[in-house]
Structure 1
Amino acid sequence: MGRITETVKVLLIANIIFFVGSQFLGDYAIKMLALWFPENPNFGIWQVVTHMFMHASVSHIFFNMFALYMFGSVLEQSIGQNRFLFLYFSSGLAAAGLQILFTYLQFNSAYQACIDAGVDSNTIFESLDRAVRTNQYQFIPGVSQETVKQLTDVYITPMVGASGAIFGVLAAFAVIYPNLPLYIIFIPIPIKAKYLIGGYFLINVYSAVTGTSLFGPSNTAYWAHIGGAVIGFITMYYWKKNQFNRWN
């Protein structure tokens, strides 16, 4: 889709460097740079940014960077470097914020169930800290396994990936070029950007609400995808309406 722009190139290189470096640093890189649940002792405020450059696997970084390459350069050429960077990082931050909000709701629900079962706060967090050290569930007497699993998964599972920022780019692209025909593998007919990207967004909403993963692993941060897409859409819609009327 045309030449790669300078900002997209830098983002691609930075993500690849982080990924390769994390393979050498292993658990230490995850501990320091992934985004942990704020109650977890591994949490650091810088992680709301650094997690955007961390990826869990080759396939994870490949699909994110492929989307950035395919759509990011066109978007940057359309809105300029500064606006592109603002949209990219604001989408990524919004993704992190929404994901943390919903994980807090999950955590507090499970935590309150433990308290209602007569378990004191110190016992709960001692169990969670053992789960971090052993990477195993520490079941609590009087509390259902499902509740302990929900509590533990939120506490010990870090968030990684540029997906939230990428969803912001995709949503913005669909706002600027809603009727641009796009092709995807195995479907030999063009689909307008607004339908293809909009449909993908709705699939993520369904997965976030129901907990059913239609694409990708079950621990995908769907609320992060939604947060990034919403900010990307709102930001681009505002810019298009107020400053880029030539597209109307």
Structure 2
Amino acid sequence: MPKLSAGTRALLILNGLFFVVTYWVPNMRNRMVDWFALFFPMNDHFQMWQFISSLFMHGSVTHLFFNMFALFSFGMILEALWGTRKFIAFYFIVGIGAGLIYIGVNYFEFKGVYKELLELGFRPVEIQALLDTGYINPKIGSQIADGKLQEFYSHYNGPVLGASGAIYGILVAFGMMFPNAKLAFLFIPVPVAAKYIIPALLVFDLFSGVTGFSLFGGNIGHFAHIGGAIIGFLLMLYWKPNAKIGSSFISTSE
């Protein structure tokens, strides 16, 4: 097994520590989520630091394992090529960018429903009561689909956890540098080249984000995945705008 590089090791340790404190220290779960998960900007729990801290919060052992396995598998390779400082900068830039894009998409959808409720004659205080309590006033529920109202409530109250946006940025960077590398995923029986499987993952995320259908259940931030991939792609182009995609084009210096 290759020796863990400094940046990847630090990220793995921090993610592990956050998980242990959140789920194993008595009475800390709700506090950790309130402090460090990423909340909707209009929610009272929102803080600017959550764009960073949410990258270290995970919702389950499975969630943590798959993100950290991907970080270990691909992050060490990128860190070896770029150096620790550049790799860490990339990780946080794509992670923060993923959060911003995810919040932006949610805000657009949220404002659309909010405007629709106002146009139907509901007062802001009635709308806020729905957001605060989750109780759907029959007068509101009779005019707007229940699923839309539940999503409206979820956008406002649902915290965002996980490093998946940063991981998708890492996957895109890896795919751009090593497009012909064969990757094996649990749900695909044979290895497939990165240039095929990574775009396929993004298409699936886009489809799931738009339709709400997901093979892996609900509460998945598909637009955070897409956001991390977009920021990762743009950052790779910015770092080496004249490079030919498909070559190892990032400097190895820190």
TM-score using structure 1 length: 0.90
Q: CA RMSD in A?
A: 2.1
Residues 1:199 and 1:140: Cα distance change in structure 2 (over 3 Å): same
Partner SS, residue 190 of structure 2: strand
Give aligned pairs, total: 242
Paired residue for 1:65, among 68, 71, 76? 68
User: What does residue range 30-179 of structure 1 map to in structure 2 within 5 Å?
Assistant: 30-131=33-134, 137-139=135-137, 141-143=139-141, 144=144, 145-179=146-180
Residues 1:147 and 1:174: Cα distance change in structure 2 (over 3 Å): closer
In 1: Cα distance, 2:148 partner to 2:182 partner: 46
Residues 1:127 and 1:232: Cα distance change in structure 2 (over 3 Å): same
- Mapped contact 1:140–1:148 kept (Cα < 8 A): no
In 1: Cα distance, 2:139 partner to 2:151 partner: 15
What amino acid is aligned across from residue 16 of structure 1 in structure 2?
G
In 2: Cα distance, 1:243 partner to 1:6 partner: 27
Does residue 220 of structure 1 match 2:220? yes
What amino acid is aligned across from residue 148 of structure 1 in structure 2?
L
* Runs (5+) with no aligned partner, structure 1: 132-136
In 1: Cα distance, 2:9 partner to 2:88 partner: 12
What amino acid is aligned across from residue 169 of structure 1 in structure 2?
I
1:42-100 deviation digits (Å, cap 9, x = unpaired): 11111111111000011000100010001000011011112111111111011111111
In 2: Cα distance, 1:120 partner to 1:241 partner: 51
Partner of 1:189: 190
In 1: Cα distance, 2:179 partner to 2:90 partner: 18
Partner SS, residue 184 of structure 1: coil
Residues 1:84 and 1:16: Cα distance change in structure 2 (over 3 Å): same
What amino acid is aligned across from residue 247 of structure 1 in structure 2?
S
Partner of 1:134: none
- Mapped contact 1:2–1:74 kept (Cα < 8 A): no
* Runs (5+) with no aligned partner, structure 2: 250-254
TM-score using structure 2 length: 0.88
Partner SS, residue 149 of structure 2: helix
In 1: Cα distance, 2:187 partner to 2:138 partner: 48
| Residue 213 of structure 1, CA deviation | 1.1
Residues 1:201 and 1:2: Cα distance change in structure 2 (over 3 Å): farther
| Residue 188 of structure 1, CA deviation | 4.9
| Residue 244 of structure 1, CA deviation | 9.5
Residues 1:98 and 1:77: Cα distance change in structure 2 (over 3 Å): same
| Residue 2 of structure 1, CA deviation | 3.6
Task: Spell out structure 1 runs of 4+ moving beyond 4 A.
Answer: 240-246
Partner SS, residue 189 of structure 1: coil
Partner SS, residue 142 of structure 1: helix
Residues 1:94 and 1:140: Cα distance change in structure 2 (over 3 Å): farther
What amino acid is aligned across from residue 168 of structure 1 in structure 2?
G
Identical amino acids, percent of aligned pairs: 38
Richer in helix (by share): 1
Partner SS, residue 213 of structure 1: coil
User: What does residue range 221-240 of structure 1 map to in structure 2 within 5 Å?
Assistant: 221-240=221-240
After TM superposition, the structure 1 stretch with the greater mean CA deviation from structure 2, 219-228 or 146-155, is: 146-155
Partner SS, residue 184 of structure 2: strand
| Residue 191 of structure 1, CA deviation | 1.3
